[in-house]
Structure 1
């Protein structure tokens, strides 16, 4: 069976792709030449599955999406208390490049604005950044020399911020060197696949979902995602968290990431920006995904368990020779993604397929739709599918009578057994 998840992600791009508003980051000449119509989306689960659609192989500079990962590396190297002496964790309410510091302490408000990011970069060296970012991505990342040169030539505001930090004793290194190193950090090339895996590493407690390498300690990722949730979208952070509810970070090249703890990393790429410096279409994609998938952090889903409890061989007879799959727990996006992947990687070889929902205690809307799509595709592949649903977990679906058929779409009717 072919997984329907790429089709769903493509549908999201199609729905959100019509908005041509926003502007390129014209203050950086190299970014001003970007193709404004590029559009890509990637999702990486914490157990290593990656889905990417659109312009997923197009490389672009990471820009401010580098901030949470540099912050993670600084925390891992120096510890939270030492980093907090240099940079706070409060939302600033100001633009990302504002020349502002906390009254009394002289610290930048948080590590997601430029003042805080420059401070964080001064705590680590260039080699730590390159090596650490590559570990987050699971591959060696390269520098975009053209973007680096272009951005450094127009970095006067960052120079002003760096000299301000040095005058307050927050940064001890040479201000020019700090700006150059930070600009190099922002000029590393990534794709949405890279960013989704980097975000998934945060969501997975610091362990890369594919390589299994521990990049940073678990407690570091909690701190980083908490600051992303409150400060990652600059002066739009409050609107973002109430409407989307996913710890996130944007970059002026058009990238946008989200890290949903224990579930997945998400990334989009679309270069046109809103007045806050966030990708216009990227924000729309995240709003759609959060709504469809129930990914808002405040929804507090039940603890994740494997949705497939077991697989049992069926004897010949009324249902025919085949396999029964016993599901359990919550039929949500993450659980159904694993079921779909299981059916894709180990497709049933016999005609009869029974999906038993006896131990399921919750079916979310996106889970219903994914389950129906799995049923539809199994039938199209030539299988005779039966659903066992004694607790009427699928009652939102139309069926004709107590032991009636379920409409799976495209005229496909699937038997539903209300007793086991």
Structure 2
């Protein structure tokens, strides 16, 4: 059985592809020359399953520079290495309400107000690998961490690095300001070089989804199983992302989309749903705040369709599939818990990986506690595809959680009992 998530992602891309608002970042020559058309989306579940779509040009395989999406992960590395107290003495964690590259510090402490703006990110970069570290050694530590988070060896785009450094006047001004207040010890040039190389790490949209999932899962990389970061570090990073990750639009973003997220001026957008999954999009055209226009629309669509808003998600604990057992001439699939996106995806993936040997298949929902609209649609589509594979289907649903059982082809799922 093919899992329907991929076709759902394809449909979203088809819907947003005609949108041509916004423009590529024009203050970095390499990004100004970028193709504005690529469009991709990916998500990674807590079980390490990655679903992606990239259209006819496989844009989900295309590499682009991580840019400011590196900020929460460099912040995580700093927290991991030197601890919360040291990091908080260097950079605050309150939303600034200003653009990401503003020349501003906290009026009382002279610290950058949070690690998601450029001043804060430059200061955070300086905390990694010790005060006496060379730029090369500091960047190597970051590259190693980012590679472990992604589950593959990443590399730096040297052309973008050179292009950014050639036009880094504003970041150099920020670094000089930080140095004048004793926030950083390196020269302004070295501080900005380390930060720019951090931003020039190449990723795909699938990498970002996996990295986001690692953060969402308390630092456990869902594909490799490695515990890369401490859970308390991940909690801190996601909290700051929720309040400041989308810059001066963070409040509106959290109210409307409800997914802690971070954007990058190359067109990437990465979000986390704590305990459940990582999501990422790629589309280079940006709005006035520096966020991907089509990426933002995809996040809004997925949040609404899949019930991913942080304040309204259906609880999902453990596997949604309690058991799959053959009984006589039939097979009974017992589900449990909440069937939001995570639970319904677990049901689909588990069934797809199980060889159903009987003609009759019954889904027992008596232990299911709640179903949202997207979960209901996924379960019904899964049942339809089981039937397409040649099985007779039925459902035990005494509480009517599936509601109208009409499937996409206009037919309905019949009521059944356990005696198959």
TM range (shorter): over 0.9
Distance 1:46 1:386 in 2: 29
Distance 2:392 2:418 in 1: 19
CA contact (8 A) 1:392 1:418 kept: no
Give 1:303 shift.
4.6
Distance 1:359 1:88 in 2: 45
| Correspondences of 1:248-327 after superposition (within 5 Å) | 248-315=261-328, 321-327=329-335
Distance 1:220 1:278 in 2: 25
SS at match of 1:407: coil
Pick from 80, 99, 103 the counterpart of residue 76 of structure 1: 80
Aligned counterpart, 2:33: 33
CA contact (8 A) 1:259 1:265 kept: yes
CA contact (8 A) 1:376 1:412 kept: no
CA contact (8 A) 1:76 1:217 kept: yes
**Correspondence 1:201 to 2:214:** yes
Post-superposition Cα deviations, 1:314-359, rounded to whole Å, max 9, x if no partner, equal 21xxxxx121001111121101111111111113122110001111
Aligned counterpart, 2:91: 87
Post-superposition Cα deviations, 1:197-230, rounded to whole Å, max 9, x if no partner, equal 0000000100100111111100000000000000
Aligned counterpart, 2:398: 390
SS at match of 1:132: helix
Aligned counterpart, 2:257: 244
Aligned counterpart, 2:135: none
Aligned counterpart, 2:5: 5
Distance 1:233 1:313 in 2: 50
Q: 1:353 to 1:329 in 2, by over 3 A?
A: same
Aligned counterpart, 2:412: 413
| Correspondences of 1:142-161 after superposition (within 5 Å) | 142-161=155-174
Aligned counterpart, 1:401: none
Distance 1:190 1:292 in 2: 27
Aligned counterpart, 1:67: 71
CA contact (8 A) 2:316 2:342 kept: no
Distance 2:353 2:417 in 1: 29
Distance 2:255 2:28 in 1: 31
SS at match of 1:413: coil
SS at match of 2:60: coil
Give 1:408 shift.
1.8
Distance 2:410 2:355 in 1: 23
Aligned counterpart, 1:98: 102
SS at match of 1:298: coil
Post-superposition Cα deviations, 1:340-379, rounded to whole Å, max 9, x if no partner, equal 1111111312211000111112111011100110111111
Aligned counterpart, 1:343: 351
Aligned counterpart, 1:123: 127
Post-superposition Cα deviations, 1:130-189, rounded to whole Å, max 9, x if no partner, equal 111111111111111111111110001000000000001111111110101111000010
CA contact (8 A) 1:389 1:418 kept: no
Q: 1:93 to 1:25 in 2, by over 3 A?
A: same
Distance 1:394 1:63 in 2: 43
Distance 2:235 2:370 in 1: 28
TM-score by structure 2 length? 0.95
Question: 5+ unaligned residues in a row in structure 1: which ranges?
Answer: 316-320, 398-405
**Correspondence 1:361 to 2:369:** yes
SS at match of 2:413: strand
SS at match of 2:296: helix
Question: 5+ unaligned residues in a row in structure 2: which ranges?
Answer: 129-137
**Correspondence 1:18 to 2:18:** yes
Equivalenced residues, count: 406
Q: Higher mean Cα deviation, 61-70 or 329-338? A: 329-338
CA contact (8 A) 2:208 2:279 kept: yes
Distance 2:288 2:34 in 1: 18
Give 1:300 shift.
4.9
Supply the RMSD in Å over aligned alpha carbons: 1.2
Distance 2:355 2:4 in 1: 14
Aligned counterpart, 2:229: 216
TM-score by structure 1 length? 0.95
